[in-house]
Amino acid sequence: KPPFFLGKNFGLRIIGGNIASDGQFPWDVAIYVYKSDGMFFCGGALIYLKWVLTAGRCVDGADSFTLSLGSNSLVNVDSHRIIVEAAYSVVHPDYNSITQENDIGLIRIDTPIETSAYIQTIPLAKDALESDLPVTISGWGSTNAGGFSYDLSYLDLTTISNIECTSKTGESISDQLVCAVGSNSQGTCTGDGGSPLVARDNAGTTIHVGVASWASASGCQTRQPSRYIRTAKFNDWIQSVIKE
């Protein structure tokens, strides 16, 4: 199927990011979302062989999806890439498209897929995150202020407390969000909605800690925090959907 044309991007633009190496983020999924008003692009993460975790806005009102796994490139021929079609998705029942509360959703993969060095599932965080924790966001957003990246990029960030995030943004930050900041000219500024924020746990295992949701409205250069749906807060809901 690839190369794809690119539709509207629901995706957080990664400013100042680095190009990922093959297999560096084997859980990342490129999601082409088909809705009645067009095709949109989102990021996501393979959390089980049959399930992709993404943003609620990416699945809300969606008719179907094309998922690209195993490849960092959206356009180049890649023998590691697997393309699957999906139709079944679940948006959080309390998702609010205006406030973006509960901005989390799941896509079910009904085509059998196998793991490899380039396709892996990522475990979910179960506990609350500390502040000042190193985290990494990855996705296919633009790596500069304009344009679009066809290669997976990533950026190392640091979490901050919700109190500090409220102070920096001037907005009330609920406990379902986690905030992170980069250096002065780095961050996720505008739309890889659904892309995974990851961290290492005490055992050194990489875990999924957040879903890209809110970006800085005033741009990365102001070192405004970007906001992510806190994975651990929704773990019970995720498990309830998967077990249905």
Distance from C-alpha of 45 to C-alpha of 21, rounded to nearest angstrom: 17
CATH topology agreement for domains 26-121+237-242 and 134-232: yes
Distance from C-alpha of 85 to C-alpha of 67, rounded to nearest angstrom: 6
* DSSP helix/strand/coil, 119: coil
Q: Regarding the domain with residue range 134-232, which homologous superfamily does it belong to in the CATH classification? A: Trypsin-like serine proteases (2.40.10.10)
- Percent of the chain residues past pLDDT 70, beyond the cut: 82
- pLDDT (tens digit per residue) in 75-114: 888 899 999 999 999 999 999 988 889 999 999 999 999 9
The topology (CATH level 3) of 26-121+237-242 is Thrombin, subunit H (2.40.10)
Q: H-helix or E-strand containing 239?
A: helix 235-242
Domain ranges of the chain: 26-121+237-242, 134-232
Q: In DSSP terms, which residues pair with 172 in a beta bridge?
A: none
The stretch 121-131 carries a mean pLDDT of: 93
pTM for this structure? Answer: 0.90
